[in-house]
């Protein structure tokens, strides 16, 4: 394939060195893209699994719904785009009481990067958490996988997204998943007492209310008799 080209009548002719080189390069690019695509679909934790509790506690996410996204390094173009996308949606995440945490290793930290965005950034020392949950690397191990998790208050994963190239989509998809999380118990109660509980409360309080009224009427009657 790399050493012959074909006319419309399928007669093979030798290709030039430049043509062979271009064909080989094209095949390499296509093959690499296919491999990277397959790797991008390999994710660490799955929906329904529990995120490491020690990591959530250390990063201030214990007992609260959170978005935890792993990326490569501060200031790199795609990682900056990802952080900016989350920053633009922070009002929506805050309204949902969902914490957003960006995670990179110590080599990926750049001065003053975290100060530019309204979210929490933490360091995964030695990629300990990343490796423990099994986030695969991209580009033959040259880049750490770009992976985003949404976890509920119990630390259970409700959403996973992995894509090295669509950095901005991580925030968009994470927000949709965060909106699907159940509200906290306090919020649910604030929306109104369920009718079943209202009936139970009335059933319990009714005898007490009648007793208080009876005592009040009796006291009134006694007071009237004393006056007479």
Q: Under a CB-based contact definition with an 8 Å cutoff, are residues 148 and 161 in contact?
A: yes
Other beta carbons within 10 angstroms of residue 114's beta carbon come to 15
Active site residues: 79
CA dist 116 and 167 (Å) reads 18
* 3-class SS letters over the chain: CCCEEECCCCCEEECCHHHHHHHHHHHHHHHHHHHHHHHHCCCCCCCCCECCHHHHHHCCCCCCCEEEEECCCCCCHHHHHHHHHHHHCHHHHHHCCCEEEEEECHHHCCCCCHHHCCCEEEECHHHHHHHHHCCCCECCCCECCCEEEEECCCCEEEEEEECCCCCCHHHHHHHHHHHCCCCCHHHHHHCCCCHHHHHHHHHHHHHHHHHHHHHHHHHHHHHHHHHC
Q: Under a CB-based contact definition with an 8 Å cutoff, are residues 52 and 132 in contact?
A: yes
């Amino acid at each position: 394939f790399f050493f012959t080209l074909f006319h419309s009548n399928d007669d093979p002719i030798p290709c030039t060195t430049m043509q062979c080189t271009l064909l080989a390069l094209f095949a390499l690019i296509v093959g690499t893209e296919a491999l990277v695509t397959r790797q991008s679909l390999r994710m660490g934790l799955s929906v329904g699994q529990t995120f490491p509790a020690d990591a959530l506690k250390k990063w201030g996410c214990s007992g609260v719904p959170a978005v935890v996204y792993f990326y490569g390094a501060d200031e790199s173009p795609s990682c900056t785009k990802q952080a900016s996308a989350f920053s633009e949606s922070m009002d929506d995440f805050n309204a949902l009481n969902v914490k957003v945490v960006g995670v990179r290793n110590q080599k990926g930290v750049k001065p003053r990067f975290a100060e530019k965005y309204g979210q929490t950034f933490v360091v995964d020392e030695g990629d300990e958490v990343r490796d423990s949950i099994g986030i695969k690397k991209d580009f033959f191990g040259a880049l750490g996988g770009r992976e985003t998790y949404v976890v509920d208050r119990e630390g259970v994963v409700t959403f996973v997204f992995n894509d090295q190239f669509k950095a901005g989509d991580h925030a968009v998809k994470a927000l949709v998943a965060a909106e699907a999380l159940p509200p906290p118990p306090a919020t649910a109660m604030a929306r109104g007492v369920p009718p079943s509980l209202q009936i139970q409360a009335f059933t319990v309080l009714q005898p007490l209310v009648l007793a208080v009224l009876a005592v009040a009427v009796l006291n009134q009657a006694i007071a009237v008799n004393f006056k007479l």
